[in-house]
Structure 1
């Protein structure tokens, strides 16, 4: 799936579409670094939530 397909997809989130549009005018390396940082933050958040849910299930 390419960015044109995502922008045309009614099921794609508005947030994702806006980020794709905004990154078109940014330095690609900076955009990738920011995306990787966001992914790291979200993965950490997910792992904390998962650990918490596992603790509650005990």
Structure 2
């Protein structure tokens, strides 16, 4: 027995009342800033001070 194929009905968006006009506008595209290399710290106190300076703590 062979399977029967159903016909696929093609409907245009205008018939369904769908609006395809773009709603967003791209203003600009740019790359993110380059990453800066890290710095080594000598002690825990210096690490905490740098973290506080960066606003992490």
TM range (shorter): under 0.3
- Kindly indicate which of the two structures has a greater share of residues assigned to helix: 1
Higher-RCO chain (CA-CA 8 Å, sequence separation at least 6): 1
